[in-house]
Amino acid sequence: MTADPNTPLSGIPPSSLGVNVPSSDRTGSPATLQPVPEPEPVRQSGFTLWLYRITVLLFVFVCASAGVLLIIVPWTNNWTDNRLLLVYPGLREFVANGFVRGVCSGLGVLDIWIGFWEAVHYHEDKRT
């Protein structure tokens, strides 16, 4: 079955296709469809720009700190010898497993990766 390009699409509103249809002509003829203009980029004030910069810096710092802790802490004695795990010996045995420690360290590496990826891909709109 082939579709005729001159027939309007039934059941799909033209606004969902990214086109503006004048209110006087709702037939959907191709000659009257106009593309929707893209909005102008919003210019940031100095305060919001610095707030965004500080937020990104704090995000990178928190990701890096949490990542380093998740890499190092599972391999120390504090990981298994704490008050919470002394009460639950089954949980202590599970947490002391090398696989669980490796997963936590892997999450730490992933956390560091996300933080530095955000720092490297940070960009601002150029001021005019």
Write the DSSP assignment of 23-69 as a string of letters: TT--S--TTT-EEPPPPPPPPPPHHHHHHHHHHHHHHHHHHHHHHHH
Same domain? 101 vs 61: yes
- Name the domain count of the chain: 2
With b meaning 16 or more CB within 10 Å and e meaning fewer, what string describes 60-69? beebbeebee
pLDDT for 27 equals 57
Same domain? 83 vs 20: no
pLDDT for 111 equals 96
**How far is the C-alpha of 78 from the C-alpha of 42, rounded, in Å?**
49
Q: What is the mean pLDDT of each run of 10 residues along the chain (128 residues)?
A: 61 58 54 72 77 93 96 94 89 94 97 94 73
- Whether residue 65 lies inside any domain: the answer is yes
- CB-count exposure of residue 22 (10 Å: 0-12, 13-18, 19+): exposed
Q: At what angle do helices 98-120 and 46-72 cross, to 10 degrees?
A: 160
Same domain? 74 vs 30: no
Q: Both ends of the chain: CA-CA distance in Å? A: 53
Domain that holds residue 28: 12-39
Number of H helices, E strands in the chain: 4, 2
Q: Specify whether the backbone of 107 is left (phi greater than 0), alpha (psi in -120 to 50) or beta.
A: alpha
Is the pTM for the entire model greater than 0.75? no
- Whether residue 107 lies inside any domain: the answer is yes
Place of tokens 């799909």: 12
pLDDT for 93 equals 93
